[in-house]
A and B are shown apart, each in its own frame.
Chain A
Amino acid sequence: MEWTAILLSLRVATVATLVATPLGIAVAWLLARREFWGKSVADAAIHLPLVLPPVVTGYLLLLTFGRRGAVGAWLADHLGIVFAFRWTGAALACGIMSFPLLVRPIRLSIEAVDRRLEQAAGTLGAAPWRVFLTVTLPLALPGVLAGMVLGFAKAIGEFGATITFVSNIPGETQTISSAIYSLIQTPDGDAAALRLVVVSIVIAMAALVASEWFARRALRRLHGN
């Protein structure tokens, strides 16, 4: 049970982070560099999972992406994608819950990129999307990595929305957090729960150290020689 939960958590958080990152970069760029109608509403909507009770987010996900939800029913009928009570649903819940944490550092680092460098790239013949790929994104890389690590750490620890949306099924949706929750309620589960607690701490520490290391490397690459 413990290993199953650990591997599942890693898989859920990895998939959530990898899928959310390109989307997060796009959203961060829009918020940092574009003015559009309803921008403040969009900004608020992205941050909503941060301030809503996770149970509410999970329940909303169930209503939307559940088997009988508007989006869930369509996805199941047309594409065969089912989120409800599957590990993919856990990844969706974790992705949405960690999205604000992922977007924020990326947005800040894109805002910090000197726009005059982007102009220079334009005069050298780079179309806007190439300016983004060759100048903006590489210069914002420390923020992208920081966002990914923060998002990953949040995804690994997510509990409320996940358990509400996809329940607590061993081997399918039982992540480290929900496994600890189950173990605490089981007689003689304390030892196993503690082992999972230690694993959580190790993963979180490793993520922080890795982000620090990436950020430093990136900074040296950008400003040193």
Chain B
Amino acid sequence: MLRVDVSKRLGDFSIEASFASEGRVTGLFGASGAGKTSLINMIAGLLRPDRGVIAIDDETLDDTNARTHVAVHRRRIGYVFQDARLFPHLDVRQNLDYGRRMNGLAEDGAQRTRVTDLLDIGNLLDRRPGRLSGGERQRVALGRALLSQPRLLLLDEPLGSLDDERKEEILPYLVRLRDEAGIPMVYVSHDAAEMRQLATQIVMLQRGRITAFGGAEVLPTALARA
């Protein structure tokens, strides 16, 4: 269970958000500029809330009253960025291995094979990120986050920088990930169709405030039916 109750001022924009989600995939839905990225950056620990609490299960990650702030690298929260952010000086294999090394986890060939099979990236292992397509890069970024064995996976518009064809290429992997990896996810998107396909619980965000919370029924349907 993920519990978020925070407020944060960023210039003349402010975020006030409070929700608790049990869902396998919590969808953060809203137009660009609604504060989605700031909100998951707070969950990741990249941004510090001005006030409030962030907790996973019964572990508190942020609590401004108790002056608790767990550092990013100690949160065990995976993050797939819109722009992949693969390390350009490492090949795919080393990128995938990075989280395991940094967390001091034992080498687990079976786990790596499972993830590379799930994402179909086994044939890319010796390549440098500079030689990958956008879709391949995003799949490797997913695998890299998964292999750090996070307890929560944040995905910030992972399809946002891809064209429609590439989106169709990645979406099935995300569905498989949801159904097979067993890691709760927070999925950020402004695309209602993506949300409908992936999210089990939806948090609707508008100008820094939560305007709706619930199942797929809170998504705007007019466009989809038109």
Query: Which A residues fall within an 8 A CB radius of B?
Result: 114, 116-117, 119-128, 130-131, 134-135, 138-139, 221-225
Does any Cβ of A come within 8 Å of B89's Cβ?
A: yes
* Stretch in B95-103, B193-201, B215-223 with 4+ CB within 8 Å of A: B95-103
Q: Are A123 and B130 in contact (CB under 8 A)?
A: no
Residues of B within 8 A of A125 (CB): 73-74, 76, 99, 102-103, 148
In the bound complex, how far is the Cα of B101 from the Cα of A135, in angstroms?
A: 13
In the bound complex, how far is the Cα of B128 from the Cα of A224, in angstroms?
A: 7
Residue of B nearest to A130 (CB): B102
Q: Are B130 and A121 in contact (CB under 8 A)?
A: no
Q: Are B73 and A225 in contact (CB under 8 A)?
A: no
Q: Are A222 and B89 in contact (CB under 8 A)?
A: yes
Does any Cβ of A come within 8 Å of B44's Cβ?
A: yes
Please give the distance in Å from B58's CB to the nearest CB on chain A.
21
Does any Cβ of A come within 8 Å of B127's Cβ?
A: yes
Q: Are A121 and B78 in contact (CB under 8 A)?
A: no
Give per-residue flags for B29-51: 1 if the beta carbon is below 8 A from chain A beta carbons, else 0.
00000000000000011100000
Q: Are B44 and A123 in contact (CB under 8 A)?
A: yes
- Pairs of residues from A and B, 9 with the lowest C-beta to C-beta distance, nearest first: A124-B99, A225-B128, A123-B79, A122-B72, A120-B85, A125-B102, A125-B103, A126-B102, A225-B131
From B72, B85, B102, A117 is in contact (CB under 8 Å) with B85
Q: Are B78 and A123 in contact (CB under 8 A)?
A: yes
Residues of A within 8 A of B77 (CB): 123
Residues of B within 8 A of A221 (CB): 89
Residue of A nearest to B83 (CB): A116
Q: Are A124 and B127 in contact (CB under 8 A)?
A: no
Q: Are A124 and B148 in contact (CB under 8 A)?
A: yes
Q: Which of A130, A134, A138 has the most CB of B within 10 A?
A: A134
9 more contacts with CB within 8 A, not counting A138-B89, A225-B127, are A117-B85, A120-B81, A122-B45, A122-B46, A122-B72, A122-B73, A123-B79, A126-B73, A223-B130
In the bound complex, how far is the Cα of B77 from the Cα of A206, in angstroms?
A: 49
Residues of B within 8 A of A224 (CB): 128, 130
In the bound complex, how far is the Cα of B85 from the Cα of A131, in angstroms?
A: 14
Residues of A within 8 A of B44 (CB): 123
Residue of A nearest to B148 (CB): A124
Known: A119-B46, A225-B128, A225-B130. A127 touches B85 (CB 8 A): no
25 A-B contacts (beta carbon < 8 Å):
A114-B85, A116-B83, A116-B85, A117-B87, A117-B88, A120-B81, A120-B85, A121-B87, A121-B98, A122-B46, A122-B72, A123-B72, A123-B73, A123-B79, A123-B145, A124-B148, A125-B73, A125-B76, A127-B73, A128-B73, A134-B102, A135-B87, A222-B89, A225-B127, A225-B130
Q: Which of B73, B76, B83, B99 has the most CB of A within 10 A?
A: B73
Please give the distance in Å from A2's CB to the nearest CB on chain B.
43
In the bound complex, how far is the Cα of B98 from the Cα of A117, in angstroms?
A: 12
Residues of B within 8 A of A135 (CB): 87
Residue of A nearest to B129 (CB): A225
Residues of B within 8 A of A138 (CB): 89
Q: Are B46 and A123 in contact (CB under 8 A)?
A: yes
Please give the distance in Å from A211's CB to the nearest CB on chain B.
19
Does any Cβ of A come within 8 Å of B137's Cβ?
A: no
From A119, A121, A222, A225, B102 is in contact (CB under 8 Å) with A121
Residues of A within 8 A of B99 (CB): 124-125
In the bound complex, how far is the Cα of B83 from the Cα of A221, in angstroms?
A: 21
Does any Cβ of A come within 8 Å of B144's Cβ?
A: yes
Residues of B within 8 A of A120 (CB): 79, 81, 85, 87
In the bound complex, how far is the Cα of B83 from the Cα of A124, in angstroms?
A: 16
Residues of B within 8 A of A124 (CB): 73, 78, 98-99, 102-103, 144-145, 148
Q: Are A116 and B89 in contact (CB under 8 A)?
A: no
